[in-house]
Structures are given as structure tokens and as C-alpha cells.
Structure 1
């Protein structure tokens, strides 16, 4: 494996209309840990929250922009249509199905997809997710379940699962995933392909769906903003910048997010980020109190008093 090959999924970022409700859903119902409560670095008046495993490991975090005044998004084609979370086995899926029933979470029951068990469900704002069972899974290693969470550690979510992308230009998009991003198709069904990258398995897969009938999705809360794939380090992301430039793919240039380095490119309608595994989320807060206070990267720290006066506070102390 060369240094610049993608290692798997890094994170998925979606939009919410209510950071506090979203926080309660992810921590109290799903049992994921809030590892960082910060602000959107491109819009300091809004929150950016990160839910992950016990230590905020790369490949485990689902993040949210809080855009309370944005309109509701609309699901449709030409979008990142569903994020997924890994659980250890089929027994854990059954546990969550019962948990969803107890908490009144809308779900579609346990199903099979490409030979694995999945449990599709929705958040209150209509955001689509699914749990995927790691039973018999091989490939990208999972993270560590939240030790002090409400879900038993042998059942708990411990990583991101296959990201689902739906497009009308299926063949063209698949070709880019294969030729630029180094993915390989490993299975297909009617108008659906399963591709994987890196060590593969649930932590390194994309479910690509073809849909030429549904109207295009509309961005807004309840929809995914972008997906990011993992790179090992700065050298690798610099090589990706060169790759984009050589291929004539428009991009953001390297962006230092403090917790990781990022590089963005829009492929058709889909915003794809590549991000470094480090430095990570453990450097600026103690493990014991991750996510309990408003964390700001050094370049925003001088604006802390102003930011805290403008942003609506909500309590994340456990």
C-alpha cells in the first residue's frame, strides 16, 4: 500500500437544526461519545459537534453543523444519502432494534444488504442512517466503544460503516471512485454497487446507488454535507493535492482544521474530503472531559469571549 492510498472512511458531516436535541439523540440513544464541541471554522456563529468512539479515533466520528435557520433539506438523488455505524455483531443489531422501539425511534427493522445485516433508522429531523453488523466482517479495524456510555460495550457503536451515495450518473461516478480514489467494486445488485478501499470491510466501503427518477436532493438540515476518507499523514495529503491538480480536479487546497488536515473536492454534486488521521481530538482536552466545554482551535482562541457571547450555549457536562 503506497503512502497516499485511502485507508477507509474518516468522518461524515451532516446538518442539524438543533444541536442540543442532536446531542441527546447521539449520546443518550445511540450511545456515541461527544468528543468535541467546537464551532464551524467557516462560520463561527454555529456549532460543529463530533460524535465518535471512546477516544475520537479516525473512522469513528459523525459530525454536525448546527444551522438552526436553514430550511429543511430534501432527500433525493445526487446526494450522500445515508451514513452508517458499525456494531459488533447481529446480536447488537437486535439490541438496538429493541432500544429504538423503547425510545420511539423510527426504523425499518433488521434487513440484509450484500450479505450483511443492517438496521435502517431515522433521527427526528429525517436524517437517514443505518446500523451495520460486523459479524464475519474483515478489514478496517473498528474503534473502541464508549466505556461510560449508556449502551453495553459489547453492543455499542464503535465506528462508521459504509457510506451510501446515490447519483443519476452512476457509471461516470463509479469510474471516478475507481480511477481517482482507488476503490474496487466487490459486489453488485440491481442498480447498486459495493466498492471498497484500503483494507476494506465495513469501515472502508461505499454503497453506490443509481437513481435517475427521483428529483435531486436539496441541501439543508437532515441531509449529509460531505464525506471524508482517511489518509495517514501530511505527506499523503500533499500527494493528493498534486493528484487533483494533475487530474484537473478543482479543490480547496490544503486546509488545517487543527484536529486534522483536510482537502475538499466536489465530484459532480458530491463533496468529498480527504483528511489526515492526526493530530486527533485528544490533544487539547483531558480524556475524562472530552466534549464538555467549548473547544476552539488556536487561531480562534483570541475570539473566545466574542464567540461565547454569540453562540447559544447548551450543557454537555456528564
Structure 2
């Protein structure tokens, strides 16, 4: 049986790509590794931030939806994103940085068993910095040396992702029985799962919460993509998803990776995505994120697409 190797990327909704671009590059120090458009609706930006090359497991992705209203928080939603930083000293550094940039944040606390600093962007997207404490990270994650953040405190990549659901057992079964995630801890209303034993870079916290489902808007999380190596593995998971009675989108070619989408029994949208070919498929490493990159099937519409987009820089 194939396995899941951790997170691939996570995708959110922003109302304003310009503000979003400034925050994730200038405040968080991530690299904008791809400036493209939503392939299903090419009139809006799709931005990716990550490490030097946007390696799987470091990618934060945003769809710009200018008409997005506020998010009405609730259950049956992905409700938080963990980002790994090197040390406890890094959390102290980030607390001061958030004060400097007037970013809403907590005191240093604990989350999923790690020292943590919770914060939000200006649209209410909930994130938390987690102390990686020198633990192993994927060897292919590569630091972006032009980051505005001090080298010893830079964000390494994605850590624990939080999912809040009405029925914990339903999502728990999807993770453990179908995907082979390891259950680390379990209480009546919360469980922690890891795709790679002992590693936060593939960790998911599932919380049980009654009440109305979240109504998504700006600052909400659209879906979580989990990582597989190649198309062969993706074909395997496509069959597994269908065997479990879930509807699969079938394999979709996103040019930078191939993927499929499905919703679990709580309505959580998962994507399963391949490692390659990656964001250097149409750009050099040096030029990543600088120009508007379009998949080949949209190139003939470039003039029309660019005319509808506002400049970011």
C-alpha cells in the first residue's frame, strides 16, 4: 500500500491579493514562488508562497476573490495552519516582529504539544507558529536566502493543520483507515494524527465541535492538499477514494502538479497532489514568482487575462 508523505499545500481565500502579497512576503518572509491564476476561473489571481522553490509541504496558496464577504466561523471546516520555526528563541523573535508590524497575536503558549505563538493576518486567517525544536524536516525544503526574516528564525514549512468537525470519528476514519495516518493522541473531543510518525510536517489535529457549519469568506481555508510522489500513486488513491464511497473529481492536470479532490463525510475538502513537476516547470529558480505564469492551455488568453488583473508590485 502507498502512503501519504505529509502536507503538499493548503489553499485559502483572500479578498485583496495586494495586501496578501505584502503580508506573506514582507512580514512572514516567505517567497512568492508562483504568480498565476485560478485555472477554473482565470480572471482571479492564484498566489503561492513557500521556500526557495515552493517545495511540497511549504506552499501556502491563495485565491483572490474581490467580492468575498466575512467568514462566519463554525464547524466542518479547516480552521488553522501551523508553521514550523526553528526554536523557542524564534517564537520570541516573532512575537516582537508581530508587535512591530501590528499583527494580532497571542502570548507564547502551547499547541499540539509544542511551544506556539498564535496569530492572524488582516483578514482573520488563523495561523500558529510552532517550535520545531531542531527536529527533522524534509531534506528537500530549501531556505530562501533573500527573506526579510533573520536566517535563524525563518519559517521552515507547514506543521500541524487543524480541522474542526461535527463528527470526529468520520474524519478520523478517513485519515487512519484510508490514508494510514497514525493516531498519536485521542480524547473525547480531539485527536492528533501524523502521516509520518513523530513528525509535525504531516500532522493534523481533528477537533469535535457542534453547531452550524462555517460559512467561508475572506480569511477562510478552502482545502488541504496532501502529498503523494507521482501519478501512479495518485491513480491508486483515486480508486481508494471511490472504494470508500466518496465522490472523486478524477485526476486533474494542474501543470505544476497533478491532483484529485474529494470531500469526506464531514464535508472537508481534501486534495491529493503529486510532487512534480513543480513550479520550475515554466520558470528558472531565480525568476520564480516574478512574472505571471500561465499553464499552456491558458497562454492563448494571456492578453485578456492580464487586462483583468491589477498589478501586485
TM-score scaled to structure 2, two decimals? 0.96
Who is 2:238 aligned against? 241
User: Of the candidates 196, 207, 210, which is equivalent to residue 209 of structure 1?
Assistant: 207
RMSD of equivalent CA atoms: 1.4
Who is 2:186 aligned against? 188
Q: Is the 8 A contact 2:112 2:205 kept in 1?
A: no
For residues 64-118 of structure 1, the C-alpha deviation after alignment (integer angstroms, 9 at most, x for no partner) is 0000112222221110000111111111111111100110000012111233111
Q: Return 5+ residue gaps in structure 1 as ranges.
A: none
Q: Is the 8 A contact 1:117 1:132 kept in 2?
A: yes
User: Of the candidates 216, 219, 240, which is equivalent to residue 222 of structure 1?
Assistant: 219
Tell me how far apart the structure 1 counterparts of residues 253 and 61 of structure 2 sit (CA, whole Å): 17
Who is 2:112 aligned against? 114
User: Of the candidates 51, 75, 91, which is equivalent to residue 53 of structure 1?
Assistant: 51
CA drift of 1:7 comes to 0.3
CA drift of 1:227 comes to 0.2
The DSSP-based 3-state class of the residue aligned with 1:219 is coil
Are 1:92 and 2:90 matched, yes or no?
Answer: yes
Equivalenced residue count is: 312
Tell me how far apart the structure 2 counterparts of residues 54 and 129 of structure 1 sit (CA, whole Å): 21
Are 1:103 and 2:101 matched, yes or no?
Answer: yes
Q: Is the 8 A contact 1:86 1:160 kept in 2?
A: yes
Change (3 A) 1:200 1:271: farther
Tell me how far apart the structure 2 counterparts of residues 70 and 34 of structure 1 sit (CA, whole Å): 22
User: Of the candidates 69, 72, 77, which is equivalent to residue 70 of structure 2?
Assistant: 72
Tell me how far apart the structure 1 counterparts of residues 89 and 61 of structure 2 sit (CA, whole Å): 26
Higher alpha-carbon deviation: 258-267 or 137-146: 137-146
Runs of 4+ aligned structure 1 residues displaced above 4 Å come to 138-142
Tell me how far apart the structure 2 counterparts of residues 241 and 202 of structure 1 sit (CA, whole Å): 26
Q: Is the 8 A contact 2:85 2:156 kept in 1?
A: yes
Q: Is the 8 A contact 1:7 1:199 kept in 2?
A: no
Q: Is the 8 A contact 1:51 1:61 kept in 2?
A: yes
CA drift of 1:283 comes to 2.2
